[in-house]
């Protein structure tokens, strides 16, 4: 992007020609990034459905394309072809307008989210502030949708959602500020450059407060994206579908894409702020900058990290039950906000007391890294323990064996056969 | 920098325009068969009961006000956070830290006040000043 900008401004064209070319450049990049973001949001829906299927011991979409990978195209076509019903009692202009702020709030944020070292539309020096600011547009759209529908479920959903998103913005911003404090910059690319490729160079493991800030950020971001366990605005068992109850067709599609785009966005921000973004272990940013190979590897790393985080988000959806609405608000103001203040001030104190590069600094870094490893090890040990103790669920047991050995459909198929056979046998012969 | 902001603004226009384009394309291909019952407001299959535009008991109204203060506060801490590292390197960080600390402390006191007042609870006991005195006479026929 910068190179193209230099090329155009450095050329000997007239002033207005340059402006026109720049506008065309912005438009073209916008359309490309929007399409990529749209595909990412659509793939997010695919991931969600496949992982949900696996978690619930079913298959999930597998008919359209190999492994159901083209399901999102079919869904998109369906949404465009469906009737756009606007209830007679609704406020029509507001109802029609409501999806726009949601889509703009999510997809305009992609301007400042990097995909790789070269692949960023606009490396703003206020990048993170821009991300925080533009994503809060979503609230406006949700409130508009909730009010305009003239439906009680929509109204409840919209108001709950507004209260929730607005409240959780405070801990999200404060947790990100912890890293801004350490990096001394708001630019997304600068924050990534300040980190390193190795896990102990990432900001999560720099010091204990940053480690805590990551969890604060992730919790608050889940709530901001209306994801389970904080999906009260769309709690289907009490509010039908929340603010988008009355929406259908492509207008519903706008909310849907906005929501799933937001999940990727939140994971991408977590990746770039806490997990080293596109940094490759052992390759300095200077080496990274000039080489095509490293660019591709960096893109791949960012992709893998962001999608791994998205996987965790989907996983959490089927693991944790939904909170009550009063628990939700007290969680935010009684725990997350004071804790993020502690993290912010603690980081400032540590930065003043512990000079960068000193012995104590490395001790803190490797201590936090070790602690992180310990937490992960205990976590996986517990998961395996639970899988070993599921009793009759042979399919899960074989899956656990497959994690260690090879993971192929044939094993699962045979496991399913064994499972069915066991189901058919009478109780006493087992 | 100006170009970066222009790009961001361009993205706002493009993402709005793309949604508009999808909706306009849809206009030509989608069916449109409005029926009275289809256009009625959804209320779980019952006939809709009145409008949804009524006064709503918004429990966390005070919290919305608290949020405004906190968000302004975050916006004001951002510049300090950005320059803090440079200040640490030049050795005058304690001044910035003291300022930031007092600024945040005032806000934490505000949070504590709201907390103690009970505005963070779903059910809140009204204080004497907030209660309306209700004359409760002795039931008729009581001794």
pLDDT at residue B55, as a whole number: 72
Please, which pLDDT band fits residue A413 given cuts at 50, 70 and 90? Answer: low
Q: Is B23 on the interface with A (CB under 8 A)?
A: yes
Q: Is residue B128 part of a domain?
A: no
Residue numbers in A near B104 (CB within 8 A): 341, 344-345
How confident is the model over A44-53, as a mean pLDDT?
86
How confident is the model over A308-337, as a mean pLDDT?
84
How confident is the model over A180-192, as a mean pLDDT?
87
- The pLDDT tens digits of the residues spanning A270-281 come to 998 988 888 888
User: DSSP characters for A61-88?
Assistant: S-SSSGGGTTHHHHHHHHHHHS-----T
* Minimum Cα–Cα distance from B99: chain A residue: A345
The token duo for A23 is 């506008």
Does pLDDT of A264 surpass 70? yes
What burial class does residue A405 get, using C-beta atoms within 10 Å of its C-beta: 0-12 exposed, 13-18 middle, 19+ buried? exposed
Task: Domain count for chain B, please give it.
Answer: 1
How confident is the model over A387-396, as a mean pLDDT?
61
Does pLDDT of A244 surpass 90? no
| A3 vs B94, residue with greater confidence | B94
| Percent helix, strand and coil across chain B, each to the nearest 5 | 60, 0, 40
Record: contact B111-A170, CB cut-off 8 A: no
Range of the domain at B106: 7-47+58-122
Q: Is residue B2 part of a domain?
A: no
Does pLDDT of A358 surpass 60? yes
Q: Is residue B75 part of a domain?
A: yes
Q: Is A154 on the interface with B (CB under 8 A)?
A: yes
Write down the residue that tokens 């990274």 correspond to. A288
Please, which pLDDT band fits residue A394 given cuts at 50, 70 and 90? Answer: low
Q: Which of A125-129, A193-197, A399-403 has the highest mean pLDDT?
A: A125-129
List B residues 63-102 in contact with A (Cβ-Cβ < 8 A). Answer: 63-64, 66-67, 70-71, 74, 77-78, 81-86, 88, 93-94, 97, 100-101
How confident is the model over A242-254, as a mean pLDDT?
83
Q: Is residue B83 part of a domain?
A: yes
Does pLDDT of B43 surpass 80? no
User: DSSP characters for A171-205?
Assistant: HHHHHHHHHHHHH----HHHHHHHS-SSGGGSGGG
Record: contact A344-B77, CB cut-off 8 A: yes
Percent of chain A whose pLDDT exceeds 70: 88
Q: Is the dihedral of CA A274, A277, A280, A285 positive or negative?
A: negative
Record: contact A100-B56, CB cut-off 8 A: no
Question: Which DSSP category does A429 fall into?
Answer: G
pLDDT at residue A96, as a whole number: 87
Closest CA to A394 of A368, A425, A355, A357: A425
| A397 vs A369, residue with greater confidence | A369
Give the predicted TM-score (pTM) of the model. Answer: 0.83
Please, which pLDDT band fits residue B10 given cuts at 50, 70 and 90? Answer: confident
- The pLDDT tens digits of the residues spanning B54-104 come to 776 666 677 777 788 888 888 888 888 888 888 888 878 788 888 888 888
Please, which pLDDT band fits residue A430 given cuts at 50, 70 and 90? Answer: very low
Does pLDDT of A225 surpass 90? no
Q: Is residue B107 part of a domain?
A: yes
List A residues 82-101 in contact with B (Cβ-Cβ < 8 A). Answer: 82-90, 99-100
Query: In Å, how far is B139's CA from the nearest CA of chain A?
Result: 38
> ipTM score of the complex?
0.79
Q: Is residue B52 part of a domain?
A: no
Mean pLDDT of all residues in chain A? 81
pLDDT at residue A208, as a whole number: 86
pLDDT at residue B128, as a whole number: 63
3-state per-residue secondary structure call for chain A = CHHHHHHHHHCCCCHHHHHHHHHHHHHHHHHHHHHHHHHHHHHHHHHHHHHHHHHCCCCCCCCCCHHHCCHHHHHHHHHHHCCCCCCCCCCHHHHHHCHHHHHHHHHHHHHHCCCCCCCCCCCCCCHHHHHHHHHCHHHHHHHHHHHHCCCHHHHHHHHHHHHHHHHHHHHHHHHHHHHHHHHCCCCHHHHHHHCCCCHHHCHHHCCHHHHHHHHHHHHHHHHHCCCCCCCHHHCHHHHCCHHHCCCCHHHHHHHHHHHHHHHHHHHHHHHHHHCCCCCCCCCCHHHHHHCHHHHHHHHHHHHHHHHHHHHHHHHHHCCCCCCCHHHHHHHHHHHHHHHHHHHHHHHHHHHHHCCCCCHHHHHHHHHHHHHHHHHHHHHHHHHHHHHHCCCCCHHHHHHHHHHHCCCCHHHHHHHHHHHHHHHHCCHHHC
- Residue of A79, A89, A224, A353 best to disrupt the B interface, most CBs of B under 10 A: A89
pLDDT at residue A374, as a whole number: 93
C-beta neighbour count of A408 within 10 angstroms = 9
Residue numbers in B near A27 (CB within 8 A): 10, 14
Terminal Cα distance for chain A, rounded: 66
Which of B51, B78, B83 is the closest to A129 by Cβ?
A: B78
Please, which pLDDT band fits residue A195 given cuts at 50, 70 and 90? Answer: confident
Query: In Å, how far is B41's CA from the nearest CA of chain A?
Result: 6
- The pLDDT tens digits of the residues spanning B108-140 come to 888 888 888 777 776 666 666 666 666 666 555
Mean pLDDT of all residues in chain B? 78
């Amino acid at each position: 992007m910068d190179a193209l900008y230099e090329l155009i401004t450095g050329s000997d064209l007239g002033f207005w020609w340059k402006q026109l070319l720049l506008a065309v450049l912005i438009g073209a990049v916008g359309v490309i990034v929007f399409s990529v973001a749209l595909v990412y949001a659509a793939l997010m829906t695919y991931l969600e459905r496949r992982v949900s299927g696996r978690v619930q011991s079913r298959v999930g979409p597998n008919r359209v394309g190999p492994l159901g990978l083209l399901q999102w195209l079919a869904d998109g076509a369906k949404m465009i072809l469906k009737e756009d019903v606007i209830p007679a009692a609704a406020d029509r202009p507001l109802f029609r307008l409501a999806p726009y702020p949601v889509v703009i709030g999510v997809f305009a944020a992609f301007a400042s989210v990097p995909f790789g070292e070269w692949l960023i539309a606009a490396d703003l020096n206020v990048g993170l502030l821009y991300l925080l600011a533009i994503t809060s547009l979503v609230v406006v759209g949700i409130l508009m949708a909730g009010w305009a529908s003239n439906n009680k479920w929509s109204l409840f959903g919209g108001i709950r959602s507004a209260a929730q998103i607005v409240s959780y913005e405070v801990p999200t911003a404060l947790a990100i500020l912890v890293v801004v404090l350490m990096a001394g910059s708001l630019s997304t690319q600068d924050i990534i450059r300040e980190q390193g490729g190795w896990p102990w160079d990432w900001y999560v493991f720099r010091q204990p407060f940053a480690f805590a800030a990551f969890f604060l950020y992730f919790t608050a971001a889940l709530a901001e994206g209306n994801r389970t366990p904080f999906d009260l605005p769309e709690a289907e068992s009490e509010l039908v579908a929340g603010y988008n109850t009355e929406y259908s067709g492509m207008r519903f599609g706008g909310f849907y894409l906005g929501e799933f785009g937001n999940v990727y966005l939140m994971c991408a921000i977590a990746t770039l702020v806490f997990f080293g973004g596109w940094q490759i272990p052992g390759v300095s940013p200077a080496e990274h900058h000039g080489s095509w190979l490293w660019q591709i590897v960096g893109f791949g790393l960012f992709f893998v990290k962001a999608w791994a985080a998205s996987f965790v988000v989907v996983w959490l959806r089927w693991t944790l039950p939904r909170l009550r609405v009063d628990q939700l608000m007290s969680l935010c103001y009684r725990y997350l906000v004071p804790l993020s203040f502690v993290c912010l001030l603690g980081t400032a104190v540590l930065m003043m007391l512990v000079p960068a590069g000193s012995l104590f600094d490395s001790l803190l870094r490797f201590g936090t890294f070790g602690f992180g490893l310990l937490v992960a090890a205990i976590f996986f040990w517990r998961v395996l323990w639970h899988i070993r103790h599921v009793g009759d669920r042979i399919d899960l047991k074989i899956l656990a064996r497959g994690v260690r050995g090879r993971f192929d459909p044939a094993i699962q198929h045979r496991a399913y056969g064994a499972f069915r056979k066991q189901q058919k046998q009478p109780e006493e012969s087992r | 920098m100006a170009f970066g902001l222009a790009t961001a603004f361009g993205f706002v226009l493009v993402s709005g325009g793309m949604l508009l384009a999808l909706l306009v394309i849809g206009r030509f291909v989608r069916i449109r068969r409005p029926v009275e019952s289809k256009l009625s407001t959804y209320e779980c299959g019952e006939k809709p009961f009145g409008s949804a535009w009524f006064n709503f008991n918004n429990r966390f109204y005070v919290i919305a006000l608290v949020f405004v203060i906190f968000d302004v506060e975050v916006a004001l801490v951002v510049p300090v956070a950005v320059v803090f590292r440079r200040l640490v390197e030049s050795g005058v960080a304690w001044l910035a830290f003291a300022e930031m600390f007092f600024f945040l402390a005032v806000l934490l006191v505000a949070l504590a006040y709201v907390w103690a007042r009970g505005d963070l609870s779903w059910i809140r006991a009204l204080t004497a000043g907030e209660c309306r005195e209700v004359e409760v006479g002795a039931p008729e026929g009581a001794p």
